[in-house]
Amino acid sequence: MKVLITGAAGFLGSHLTDRFLADGHSVIGVDNFITGHPENIAHLAGNNRFSLMRHNISDYTSVDGPLDGVLHFASPASPVDYLEHPIQTLKVGSLGTHNALGIALAKKARFFLASTSEVYGDPLVHPQPESYWGNVNPIGPRGVYDEAKRFAEAMTMAYHRFHGVDTRIVRIFNTYGPRMRPRDGRVVSNFIVQALNNEPLTIYGDGSQTRSFCFVDDEIDGIYRLFNNGDSAPTNIGNPVEYTVKQLAEIVVELTGTPSPIVYKPLPEDDPKVRQPDITRARTMLGWEPKVDVREGVRRTIEFFRTLVGSPRMTAR
């Protein structure tokens, strides 16, 4: 197969690119490096099955030759990033999705949308099955991401129903692992980088809010299975084991051995109080479930961030 992956220099996009290449396929990566990083794909230099287009997928583009898949992974994905780039976040979820769908339609390729558990907002149903419509504040600060992804899902379903494009939608829950940007502002990267820099770990609110953390290898395995064997209905891919943010901080303190204290900061606006995927659909349709528990995953992520200690990436945003 030959596939196009937008956001190929990002955290998930680069791991997904590696997965397709490892199975003998070819990948055209598209990235504008707003939040992606060249180091994530540096190891692919000289691989003749990989090529890179430096392009913003929110602007129209065309691609030469046949394609079997278009996977749209471009978007700022950390709350801090999408608050910093609100318009670009709205554009890549809307115009970017439209452009990527247009390429899939023109090439008769399968389309795959990276959607998010944020479509459930601050959920009133717990855990979240795909059938839940969500509780999103459209005009709050997170709305730029949540509504863009909800629009992206609607656009994907319209291309599926109206144009007959073969489509997939994955709803990705909190995912972590090597190649996260050290200062992307997300909780796992923040806590580990703070611990390794001997800075205080910053818990927002009282730390009782929950998230369910999926190690990147598990997430990519689920996404790859969904691409190959799934259907067009949205599918949750995430780790259903739920932790409070405070528990996560304690795990990071323990596994890094840091002398850093834990400090408490204000909770960001519209911060969801709970989040946990119902993965019944992925289990039955794809035979998938996560294998890496949070301690093992955090250990591997700490190893990655240790390799960056002393580099400007550990302090610069």
Q: Rounded to the nearest whole angstrom, what is the least distance from the CB of residue 269 to ligand UDP in the complex?
A: 10
| CA quadruple 243, 245, 247, 248: dihedral sign | positive
Q: Rounded to the nearest whole angstrom, what is the least distance from the CB of residue 278 to ligand UDP in the complex?
A: 17
Helices (H), 174-259: 187-196, 216-229, 245-256
Q: Residue 124 gets which letter from DSSP? A: S
Is residue 190 a contact residue for ligand UDP (CB under 6 A)? yes
Among 28, 70, 203, 286, binds ligand UDP (CB under 6 A): 203
Is residue 141 a contact residue for ligand UDP (CB under 6 A)? no
Structure tokens given for 38 = 């060249």
Structure tokens given for 81 = 């990033």
Is residue 197 a contact residue for ligand UDP (CB under 6 A)? no
Structure tokens given for 278 = 């119902």
Q: What is the CA radius of gyration of the chain?
A: 19
Nearer to ligand UDP, 203 or 251 (CB): 203
> Letter for the amino acid at 135?
N
Per-residue contact track with ligand UDP, 260 to 289, x per CB under 6 A? Answer: -------xx--x------------------
Segment (H or E) for 292: none
Question: Euclidean distance between the first and final Cα of the chain, in Å?
Answer: 37
Structure tokens given for 243 = 């932790």
CB distance 223 to 168 below 8 Å: no
Q: Rounded to the nearest whole angstrom, what is the least distance from the CB of residue 281 to ligand UDP in the complex?
A: 21
Among 202, 232, 244, 247, binds ligand UDP (CB under 6 A): 202
Annotated active-site residue in 82, 120, 145, 243: 145
Nearer to ligand UDP, 26 or 78 (CB): 78
Among 29, 76, 79, 240, binds ligand UDP (CB under 6 A): 79
Q: Rounded to the nearest whole angstrom, what is the least distance from the CB of residue 54 to ligand UDP in the complex?
A: 27
Q: Rounded to the nearest whole angstrom, what is the least distance from the CB of residue 50 to ligand UDP in the complex?
A: 29
Say what angle helices 187-196 and 294-306 make with each other, to 10 degrees. Answer: 50
Please tell me the distance from the alpha carbon of residue 239 to that of residue 251, in angstroms, as a whole number: 17
Nearer to ligand UDP, 174 or 235 (CB): 174
Among 209, 236, 239, 260, binds ligand UDP (CB under 6 A): 209
Q: Which stretch binds ligand UDP (CB under 6 A): 42-50, 93-101, 183-191, 233-241?
A: 183-191
Say what angle helices 245-256 and 187-196 make with each other, to 10 degrees. Answer: 30
Q: Examine the residue annotation and report whether 145 is marked as an active-site residue of this protein.
A: yes
Is residue 204 a contact residue for ligand UDP (CB under 6 A)? yes
Backbone angles phi, psi at 249, to 5 degrees: -60, -40
Residue ranges binding ligand UDP (CB under 6 A): 78-79, 174, 186-187, 190, 202-204, 209, 211, 245, 267-268, 271
Q: Which residues are catalytic?
A: 145
